[in-house]
């Protein structure tokens, strides 16, 4: 039997090993809500983000190697203790300080 997901996705932004977030993801799966879980520590090395904002709402795509989600389709974000984004050693100041 195939289980169909319904509705817009929920973003779960957390560390890879987070038991509390696992419970949230499990409950969303029971409710057949699509979920994209990611960790800010993977950005920008293993994750990409492209965003535009003009007169209307934000649009764009958040993607990793295996999947992507359109930002305008996201219904909610659960943000819980993700790692900080990766900062390249060659990034010049003041950009390096701002990125941390």
Distance in angstroms (rounded) separating the CA atoms of residues 96 and 14: 23
The answer to whether the bond into 44 is cis (omega within 30° of 0) is yes
Provide the pLDDT confidence category of residue 1 given band limits of 50, 70 and 90.
very low
Distance in angstroms (rounded) separating the CA atoms of residues 74 and 8: 6
Reported pTM: 0.77
What percent of the chain clears pLDDT 90, i.e. is strictly above it? 48
pLDDT score for 4: 52
- Average pLDDT for the chain: 86
Provide the pLDDT confidence category of residue 18 given band limits of 50, 70 and 90.
very high
Q: What are phi and psi of 64, to 5 degrees?
A: -120, -165
Is residue 60 a contact partner of residue 71, using CB atoms and an 8 Å limit? yes
């Amino acid at each position: 039997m195939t289980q169909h997901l319904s509705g817009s996705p929920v973003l779960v932004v957390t560390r890879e090993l987070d038991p509390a977030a696992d419970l949230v993801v499990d409950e969303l799966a029971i409710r057949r809500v699509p979920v994209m879980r990611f960790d800010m520590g993977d950005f920008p090395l293993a994750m990409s983000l492209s965003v535009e904002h003009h007169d209307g709402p934000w649009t764009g795509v958040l993607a990793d190697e295996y999947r992507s989600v359109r930002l305008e389709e996201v219904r909610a974000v659960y943000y819980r203790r993700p790692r900080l984004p990766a900062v390249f050693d060659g990034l010049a100041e003041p950009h390096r300080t701002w990125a941390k």
